[in-house]
Structure 1
């Protein structure tokens, strides 16, 4: 297939990844290209992938003091309009929409090719406006059951396709390394709660190392810097390879979302390395972790999380890896998206020719492989 992948424009789709959505988009585009599809990734400047990349604007999530929100909104709107114009001219067979903007959804009927949209966040405006406009004529994939529940007021039906990770990149490490310690990874922003991870690690009596981009300078200055000390080490914004190595070396990983986490890739990455996880019980995290690979605490309960850390650090690392292999193999995720693409291309073609039978569609010239597994 010739596939257009539309990314969000907040951060580049490139290493070191700003977050889980950037990593997911990069992996999916590259995996589809490796499977023989002709993929074009529409993303912000600085994006890199093994497929063709069309960079349309500077990253809009990198705050500049002299740029207003209204100007950023206008920049994003113009960029997505340019993307949709390019997609309409590009002769694509299918569009995979990974953006967080309503415009690709609102303009989808102009393309005259099928579009699949993956939902990675809870509902928010104005994105909801675009989703509601396409609720009856486009398939929507969600990354977790908890996220499906949040979208129920707007969508009668969604397809559950959980995020996958590269199990080779996040390789199993049967033994942790060095002094017993904990790790936290992610964007350093209030909604990820790294300051609570520092407090909880201290409550558990473990040193903490943490890594990720400083995405909120005020939060760093007010909440993180005052907590640094000999038992808390900032590793910087690590490459994919360095991150996997550090996570695998840790005795326990900590996850502290302060919102209903739609998935939690950092949790899946940790258990793939064999590192058990202590986390707040929010969003999809209870679906990822069970008692074999993690321990949960109530949301924002630092003392409870400290107790969960002491439990998790004793769990079996091989059991962690087994669960990751069972639930989060990126090859399985890619298989499911390909099956959804085939089914949607077939449905879209059937609607266009106005015939519902398979023989009629086949006579219309559709390639036979579209019917496999559809």
Structure 2
């Protein structure tokens, strides 16, 4: 099968630090190629995923990016997997699916694909499909023996519940390391300066955004990772990254897809911060490091993700779910440019 994989022009594939969507594109691309398929990747300059062919955007303008894709996409592509919406909304004459990595309803696309069943049901109203994220286990350092600190890793913003991680740390008396970026917009800056920063001390430390080796060390050595999201988390890739390192992760039952992702490890799902504190103080109830990693291998490895992606591609192609519109934006632009 020949697949066109569409990323955006903001973060390379894979990202050096933060960028969950681009990391998923990376794993999907390389595992598809390893499985004998051809992947044509359109992405930001600096992308090093081992695709069959990679085209880097020479423009920031989205209309020009679309034209760039139209000029370079092979005519014999079987399906387009669009992760940013650039192509899907133009309705090309090639079956196209649009992956949504956030918690919102798909608009102006024929075949939306969400990253969890939870988001498909709540926001997609069961129109479309879902495809769980996956990771490459060999990219994550496994460690059985842990150190006595808690770890929060993710964006620093209210809906991620960083303040709740701090509350848990204070009530348990354990050291908490907070790692992740925060944008300097008004809301996030105010949250960091007024809510997080005043609580930082020797016990509770903010260490900035991390990636690569530093992230591996932090994840693999933590007593547990706290994932106290208080919004409709679309998936929560940090959870499976922690588990792949053999590190348990605690999240809330009302945290969007958290209970879906952790369905096989129910002892890690918390009702509230009080419950989270109780679980942190009772690590003997955690699954073992080997059980954590095995859980990811069985449910969220890149192999599992790609097998499900291929099943979805074949279903779309076989079922004639995608409609071709002669007067689509793609076809009209192609006619205007003389590319038909």
Preserved contact between residue 43 and residue 54 of structure 1 (Cα < 8 Å): yes
**Corresponding position of 1:186:** 154
How far residue 276 of structure 1 moved from its aligned partner, in angstroms, is 1.2
Structure 1 unaligned spans of 5+: 59-74, 353-374
Preserved contact between residue 9 and residue 43 of structure 1 (Cα < 8 Å): yes
Structure 2 unaligned spans of 5+: 325-340
Q: Flag the 1:171–1:225 CA change in 2: closer, same or farther, 3 A.
A: same
**Corresponding position of 2:138:** 168
**CA offsets 1:29-65 (integer angstroms, 9 cap, x no match):** 222233333323223344332224333268xxxxxxx
**Corresponding position of 1:56:** 57
**Corresponding position of 1:365:** none
**Corresponding position of 2:204:** 232
Of the two structures, which has the highest relative contact order with CA contacts closer than 8 Å and spacing of 6 or more? 2
SS in 1 for 2:24: helix
Q: Flag the 1:44–1:221 CA change in 2: closer, same or farther, 3 A.
A: farther
Aligned residues: 317
Instruction: Kindly indicate whether residue 92 of structure 2 is the aligned counterpart of residue 120 of structure 1.
Output: no
Instruction: Kindly indicate whether residue 82 of structure 2 is the aligned counterpart of residue 94 of structure 1.
Output: no
Following the alignment from structure 2 to structure 1, what is the Cα–Cα distance between the partners of residues 132 and 115?
4
CA RMSD of aligned residues (A): 3.0
Preserved contact between residue 101 and residue 234 of structure 2 (Cα < 8 Å): yes
**Corresponding position of 1:129:** 107
Q: 2:292 aligns with which of 320, 323, 335?
A: 320
**Corresponding position of 1:310:** 281
Following the alignment from structure 2 to structure 1, what is the Cα–Cα distance between the partners of residues 183 and 46?
17
**CA offsets 1:211-240 (integer angstroms, 9 cap, x no match):** 223334614333332222111233433333
Following the alignment from structure 1 to structure 2, what is the Cα–Cα distance between the partners of residues 349 and 271?
36
Following the alignment from structure 1 to structure 2, what is the Cα–Cα distance between the partners of residues 93 and 80?
21
SS in 2 for 1:286: helix
Following the alignment from structure 1 to structure 2, what is the Cα–Cα distance between the partners of residues 283 and 264?
9
Q: Flag the 1:327–1:309 CA change in 2: closer, same or farther, 3 A.
A: same
TM-score (norm 1): 0.74
How far residue 273 of structure 1 moved from its aligned partner, in angstroms, is 1.6
Following the alignment from structure 1 to structure 2, what is the Cα–Cα distance between the partners of residues 314 and 114?
47
Following the alignment from structure 2 to structure 1, what is the Cα–Cα distance between the partners of residues 315 and 296?
28
How far residue 141 of structure 1 moved from its aligned partner, in angstroms, is 3.1
**Corresponding position of 2:29:** 29
**Corresponding position of 1:141:** 113
How far residue 261 of structure 1 moved from its aligned partner, in angstroms, is 0.5
**Corresponding position of 1:7:** 7
How far residue 260 of structure 1 moved from its aligned partner, in angstroms, is 0.6
How far residue 292 of structure 1 moved from its aligned partner, in angstroms, is 4.4
Instruction: Kindly indicate whether residue 314 of structure 2 is the aligned counterpart of residue 331 of structure 1.
Output: no
Q: Flag the 1:292–1:94 CA change in 2: closer, same or farther, 3 A.
A: closer
Following the alignment from structure 2 to structure 1, what is the Cα–Cα distance between the partners of residues 45 and 309?
26
How far residue 162 of structure 1 moved from its aligned partner, in angstroms, is 1.7
Range 323-332 or range 12-21, more displaced: 12-21
How far residue 98 of structure 1 moved from its aligned partner, in angstroms, is 1.2
Q: 1:85 aligns with which of 63, 70, 92?
A: 70
Preserved contact between residue 19 and residue 186 of structure 1 (Cα < 8 Å): no
Q: Flag the 1:159–1:330 CA change in 2: closer, same or farther, 3 A.
A: same
Following the alignment from structure 1 to structure 2, what is the Cα–Cα distance between the partners of residues 277 and 349?
38
SS in 2 for 1:141: strand
Range 341-350 or range 208-217, more displaced: 341-350
Instruction: Kindly indicate whether residue 75 of structure 2 is the aligned counterpart of residue 105 of structure 1.
Output: no
Q: Flag the 1:249–1:79 CA change in 2: closer, same or farther, 3 A.
A: farther
Range 87-96 or range 201-210, more displaced: 87-96
How far residue 5 of structure 1 moved from its aligned partner, in angstroms, is 0.8
